[in-house]
Chains A and B, each alone.
Chain A
């Protein structure tokens, strides 16, 4: 009896293998890679092994000795010959700006053969090698495992003594951006809740034929591409767009005083709210649908006004839906990328746009990964707080 049962169970479990494999390949593995990439950067260490070995006994203050100059000179010359110098120089440049051109220049200037004094030859190629900061930058770029991406992502840096300090206020980018992202996501969640709650109530309490139609209207946006919906908002909101035209035509706004409704934070808020609204309405609807209309009747027969009944009886029962919808919208909003990229302009960008920038433009994948991990940590922390306050097991996405 037990044996066939177990093999049946195993066979059933085997049916989930394709999904498990899919999740591992498309989700778990990239996530692990991202975590690794945010702390592991071996490229410079691999490119300049002898130089870094020679610097191991360096005191960090005075100039390093001849062996270090020789190792640097030969390795830069070899890299230049293999056309591999650019990538390495870019990484060093992230630690000490200006170093990229200096390293490229040095590599190019060093001729073939072995000079009498590598030190003189390298210094002649570029005098920057006479300064300790250039060597320090090399040393730090050569660390295989490093937390500097995290420091950078949190607007921190190490000073010359190695202590962690905040960078000067005018250079802080990521922490303000992260805070802005959290705030915007919170605002979108709140707006979605305020707009979505009455809609969900209406759908849940309408007669079946009408509620189906209303539900369809909520879902219709999913039939069109996200890109189309986002660009439609540009058409509507831009300077010469429909909304401004109407406002001018009605006379609320002067022709030369057209409102800037898009390519700023306002555009991001409007477009993202519209796109995320169904994710609030659907869980709310699912929960409201399961609340018997008898409850409100009971409340009124027990002497409660509609307001009292709503506040004391109905609203508390919708909390699982409010929680589910809010969490869903917030998590989607915090990592949203396309919409802010298209309608956000300069001021409406969110942290994911910065991650995309580092992935695609600056190619600083380590920093992009670190930002991603920090974002993930934020969501995890919020989720935990949320669990404490509301209780995830009470949350419902469907009835």
Chain B
């Protein structure tokens, strides 16, 4: 973090967590969350992202390391004094209270006067566009409405930091996409910092200012969504974010910003993400939509292969080929004029540019 003019809101400093004293759920985590950003912890289940969030909220204590909020350690601060709003996975709305009572709960606890309470509750409901539902009980609301109430409750006492733990996991796809925009809008309007946990990479891409990709308790890469997609630095990130074809091979030559790797199907020119030595194993990542079916020359990598399968997806065609040792090599072609003629069994010429092929360290050996 070379920038000195960005203000840090949350810092993880060498944080580790173990529940049983042996296996580390989170290992030596360093993380900076800037003020006013929507920061996402992304990873498969069991990767340590939720545990990290719970440590930030104060529900779990780090086994080692420290967490700082606004520059000061919160090691000794109980959850109720951290001034953090939390949106839980299953909303955790209090079923025996009306929506209004759910929202005024944190205000009552803090001794806010009744008039101010009513005003704040009204405003919070306005923010999530649920005006007039004060007197309903949570079980009388739809999943999406409950979600909005949970967000409103986390915001009602005006915290500067809001944590969300898979808040959209229980919603169907359409509603989820709507709520993604909604959360983004609220976060932007209120200018709060949001730390968001999800296992859905599309959700993370659509919403986040920056994303930290978790795998086995470690952060693989922290970057904005576009960088993560275009410039993954680890094989796990390349495979987890979007679709990627992975070709395995050995680096044979390195020169400047390029390298050549020998695959079962022949040499492939690529861009290494870090300096390689000749002979090192590598995983080459090529996005399916960057592969071009063409007879036009000039592509750094060109091959010929048989189409094993063609799937019609709607907006694109999805072809499976057997290429350079990867029997599951996927090519996506946009469904535009002139692409209807590709058939299973056809032999085609295809290729991709060198800059669309990233040489990553092979992680098969690493555990």
Contact = CB atoms under 8 A, between A and B. Distances in A.
Contact of B105 (A292, A297, A305, A312): A312
Contacts of A231: none
Contacts of A308: 109
A304 B94 contact: no
Scoring B85, B86, B90, B154 by chain A CB atoms within 10 A of each residue's CB, the highest score goes to: B86
B215 to A, nearest CB: 26
B106 A302 contact: yes
B132 interface: no
Contacts of A299: 94, 105
Interface of B: 57-59, 78-80, 82, 84-86, 88-90, 92, 94-96, 105-106, 109-110, 153-154, 157
Contacts, number: 59
B100 to A, nearest CB: 15
Contact of B94 (A300, A303, A305, A313): A313
A298 B80 contact: no
Contacts of B95: 317
Contact of B110 (A303, A317, A319): A303
B80 A305 contact: yes
Nearest to A317: B96
B88 A303 contact: no
Contact of A292 (B79, B90, B110, B153): B90
A295 B92 contact: yes
Contacts of B88: 294, 297-298
B68 to A, nearest CB: 18
A228 B59 CA distance: 46
Q: How large is the interface on A (under 10, 10 to 19, 20 to 34, 35 or more residues)?
A: 10 to 19
A317 B85 CA distance: 23
Contacts of A297: 57, 59, 79, 86, 88, 92
A316 interface: yes
A316 B86 CA distance: 22
A301 interface: yes
Interface in A228-243: none
A302 B109 contact: yes
A292 B92 CA distance: 8
Nearest to A302: B106
A299 B57 CA distance: 12
B92 A298 contact: yes
22 contacts: A294-B90, A295-B94, A297-B88, A298-B86, A298-B94, A299-B94, A299-B105, A300-B58, A300-B59, A301-B57, A301-B59, A301-B79, A301-B84, A301-B86, A301-B154, A302-B80, A302-B106, A303-B110, A304-B105, A313-B94, A317-B94, A319-B96
A294 B153 CA distance: 14
Given A305-B80, A317-B95, 14 more contacts: A297-B57, A297-B59, A297-B92, A298-B86, A298-B92, A298-B94, A300-B79, A301-B80, A302-B109, A302-B153, A303-B109, A316-B96, A317-B96, A319-B96
A360 B145 CA distance: 65
Contacts of A302: 80, 105-106, 109, 153, 157
Contacts of B154: 301
B106 A303 contact: yes
Nearest to A291: B95
A210 to B, nearest CB: 14
Contacts of A317: 94-96
Contacts of B157: 302-303
A271 B61 CA distance: 44
Interface string A281-325: 000000000001011011111111100100011001101000000
Nearest to B103: A302
B76 to A, nearest CB: 15
